[in-house]
Structure 1
Amino acid sequence: MRTLERRYDIDWIRVIAIGLLLIYHVAIGFQPWGIAIGFIGNDQPWLSLWIPMTLLNVWRIPLLFFVSGMGVYFALRNRTWSQLVRERARRILLPFLFGMVAIVPVHIYLWQRYYHFDPGYTPGPGHLWFLGNLFSYVVLLSPAFLYLKRQEGQRFARWAANVLRTPLGLLPVFALFIAEALILHPIPFELYAMTWHGFFLGLLAFFFGFFFVWCGSPFWNMLLRWWWLFFTAAVGLFVLRLIFFQPMAPLYLLSIESNCWILTVFALGYRYLNHPSKVLSYLSKAAYPIYIVHMIFLYLGSLLIFPLPIPVPIQFLLVLLFTTAGCFLSYELIIRRLRFLRPLFGLN
């Protein structure tokens, strides 16, 4: 049976992943190496905060690529290739180009001001590199997606769904992700932004996100039956990484751990989150604009709060609250209400 109904769990997972992104980026500001990757760094680091972040950093970005590929499956059900590309250009490419020239320079200016550098206008992809990758994947993988669309209900589709009825059917998928890591040898594994590792890992995740939904209910029912296996493997590999492989586990283990966490999230989401709600309807629309603007409020909050003589955990909570409140207020009061701004933030 094909997965034709709206998948609210996928919408929820995308919203949750954006929420985790905000927390993760706030946490970077409390690490001594944050300044090296362009964040405003606190003079008082909070090193233990990074322990839970190391659990997230091997799967949070690949998860978003998987979810984005799943979204293309649903978008392609009633669109032609040209309609899909035009729609994704409007929703992804336009916000990407706008963000490069109007959003990224703002938080770079705040960084320059905090560190007393000469201010300058510095356009670039910044944290929006993710959008550039997504649009590239739509263009590159559209022929494969259209082929799969035509194959629905045919012999190949039935064979693929049958293969994914058991966890063993995922072995070729895991093998491709491991091969990507071993060939490109990223150091560290979680360095996704504007790297070939991030590009090809995202390409694989985007394709298989589409493919998993295309395979229909046999794959998702398999996840429901075997979620405990993926969860146990993910926890075991994380503990192994934390205790025996600091600072970094072998790349093939990181790749396996990453996908086990992601499959666990999809299984639990499919079981518990696949239902509509007014909260989801609001957050699903807000998530994209919030992702685009969040670095401005993160840097502004860091600039204002880091100099305060208060304990570091309270600083973390205040920066997180400031960033979240700033994002939601800008979305609610400005972005969603001004018609000319809506397309620039991916809204209809």
Structure 2
Amino acid sequence: MTQAYVGQEAPFVNRTSNGETREKVVIDSPSTQRYFELDALRVIAFGVLIFYHIGMYYVLEWGWHIKSDVQFPLLQDVMILTNQWRMSLLFLISAMVFTVVLRRAYDNPKSRWRESFLLLWQRALRILIPLLFGMFVIVAPQVYVEWTASGALTMPFSEFYIAYINPNTGLFIDKQSVIGLLTWNHLWFLPYLFVYSAIILLLFPLIRFVEVKELRVLDSLAVFSILAVFIMTAIWLELRAVYPTSHDLLNDWYSHAKYFFVMLVGIVVMLRPALYAEIMNRRYVSLTIAILLYSVIILDRHNMLGPTGELMASSRGFRILVGVIVVLNHWAWLAAILGFGRKYLSSPSRVVNYLNKGILPYYIVHQTIIVMAAFYLSSRVSSTLWEFISISLLTVAGCALTYEIAKRFLVLRFLFGLRLHENKK
């Protein structure tokens, strides 16, 4: 994936005459400034995603592809914590990194359209090819294990696979889409990201108006947060119930509105360095708000705040209040994570650099490994703790091995979305 190089304002520490430190803002060259924290946060976000999916195997009541016989109700509370922001963080970071590349392309009027077309073409190759490869090769075993574990499927994998890639198959008619049984499953993030990126690329000349000096009001985190929460609450109120999350690209309008707006937020943060600095400076405020509102959500889930369900059904004012709480919690976590990342993760790291290059292979294979490992171990390990540790180790090791193998062969580099030529920087 694209690395976060950019030439724009960045903080450095300056000492005053009395020895105190203060942050100043300077302009760096496009070839020297890099946002290392975005690489680190992206690695963390994908790491959270991997362990979230392992948690889905054990969490009580929530449906998933395969479920453990031993399930934990309190695990819901832990997973709800990341539910608020885990996918939004990925879209936010993707938008911020993409903005870095777009600024470089659009800053040269003579080659703007050529660079834009080339950028879109490269993005298509590095997102859509892995998507197709994942659908035809990586996801198939996961689907097979899921239906075998449920007792719905008894045929060998070779026979199932022929039906899986046949758009006219008669197998499991009720589970088919317009392309048959073929599915992108957990890889839905890739087509969504590509579509949003293409739209942003086309609209970027208009979006860049947020850079003008007259819009200094956007540099206030309070003002920006009010605006963001207002729009996100409207999306939550108007679209969430009508278009529940489906990962159907053509009909998933709540998710589209939510995640596309999050990407726009990321663009604005990247185009307004003072706002980014304010997010970092107010990180403890954001974290406090996030923890408080998360606590309210958990208390409600344990029926400790009264008949909120009835009020949701009878009072629009109460629904608006709930929407504001949910959305503000969502935004506060994003702001806090971004702020702490900017403050403490903005230095180069060999570990982050290595993992950042392998994120796409890790993402593509992780859930299939989890499902297959859980299915294999469920009848062979008596201890739930040992089973969890084994699934985690197998998943991490499998992802690492996939990346190590993929990066050594040109064809696999292409199929897994890796750069065809290794960047040594």
Fold similarity call, TM over 0.5: yes
Q: Distance in 2 between matches of 1:69 and 1:14?
A: 12
For the 8 Å contact 1:160–1:215, the answer to whether it is kept is no
1:170 aligned onto 2:170: no
Matching residue of 1:278: 350
Moved more, 89-98 or 19-28: 89-98
Q: Deviations over 1:217-261 (max 9, x none)?
A: x01221122112111110000111111344789333211101100
Matching residue of 1:212: 269
Give the structure with higher Rg (CA): 2
Aligned length: 339
Moved more, 123-132 or 300-309: 300-309
For residue 40 of structure 2, the aligned residue among 3, 12, 24 is 12
* Cα deviation, residue 309, structure 1: 4.6
Q: Distance in 2 between matches of 1:50 and 1:320?
A: 19
Matching residue of 2:150: 115
Q: Deviations over 1:120-168 (max 9, x none)?
A: 323211111111101110122223223345x58xxx5223345223422
Change (3 A) 1:268 1:188: farther
Moved more, 308-317 or 219-228: 308-317
Q: Deviations over 1:273-293 (max 9, x none)?
A: 011121111000111110011
- Matched to 1:328, the amino acid is A
Matching residue of 1:75: 101
Q: Distance in 2 between matches of 1:112 and 1:314?
A: 25
Matching residue of 1:135: 194
1:258 aligned onto 2:258: no
Matching residue of 1:94: 129
Matching residue of 2:59: 31
Q: Distance in 2 between matches of 1:302 and 1:245?
A: 28
- Matched to 2:326, the amino acid is L
For the 8 Å contact 1:184–1:196, the answer to whether it is kept is yes
- Matched to 2:247, the amino acid is A
For residue 296 of structure 2, the aligned residue among 240, 244, 255 is 240
Partner of 2:379: helix, strand, or coil? Answer: coil
Q: Distance in 2 between matches of 1:186 and 1:62?
A: 19
Q: Distance in 2 between matches of 1:344 and 1:82?
A: 21
* Cα deviation, residue 318, structure 1: 1.8
* Cα deviation, residue 85, structure 1: 1.0
For the 8 Å contact 1:181–1:197, the answer to whether it is kept is yes
For residue 369 of structure 2, the aligned residue among 297, 301, 306 is 297
Matching residue of 1:62: 88
1:181 aligned onto 2:236: yes
For the 8 Å contact 2:280–2:343, the answer to whether it is kept is yes
Q: Deviations over 1:39-74 (max 9, x none)?
A: 210011122222211111111011111011112111
For residue 335 of structure 1, the aligned residue among 394, 400, 406 is 406
Partner of 2:34: helix, strand, or coil? Answer: coil
For residue 147 of structure 1, the aligned residue among 206, 210, 225 is 206
For the 8 Å contact 1:92–1:346, the answer to whether it is kept is yes
Matching residue of 1:193: 247
Q: Distance in 2 between matches of 1:94 and 1:76?
A: 22
- Matched to 2:213, the amino acid is R
Q: Distance in 2 between matches of 1:188 and 1:40?
A: 25
Q: Output the TM-score relative to the length of structure 1.
A: 0.90
1:316 aligned onto 2:388: yes
* Cα deviation, residue 32, structure 1: 3.9
- Matched to 1:139, the amino acid is A
Gaps of 5+ in 2: 1-7, 11-29, 106-114, 165-180, 304-308, 310-318, 420-425
Q: Distance in 2 between matches of 1:147 and 1:305?
A: 53
* Cα deviation, residue 311, structure 1: 3.0
The root-mean-square deviation of aligned C-alpha atoms, in Å, is 2.2
- Matched to 1:17, the amino acid is A
Ranked by relative contact order (alpha carbons within 8 Å, sequence separation 6 or more), the top structure is 1
Q: Deviations over 1:313-347 (max 9, x none)?
A: 33222211211111111211x21111101121111
Partner of 1:347: helix, strand, or coil? Answer: coil
- Matched to 1:146, the amino acid is P
For the 8 Å contact 1:102–1:123, the answer to whether it is kept is no
Partner of 2:69: helix, strand, or coil? Answer: coil
Identity percentage of aligned residues = 26
More helix as a share of residues: 1
For the 8 Å contact 2:243–2:253, the answer to whether it is kept is no
- Matched to 2:90, the amino acid is L
Change (3 A) 1:314 1:270: same
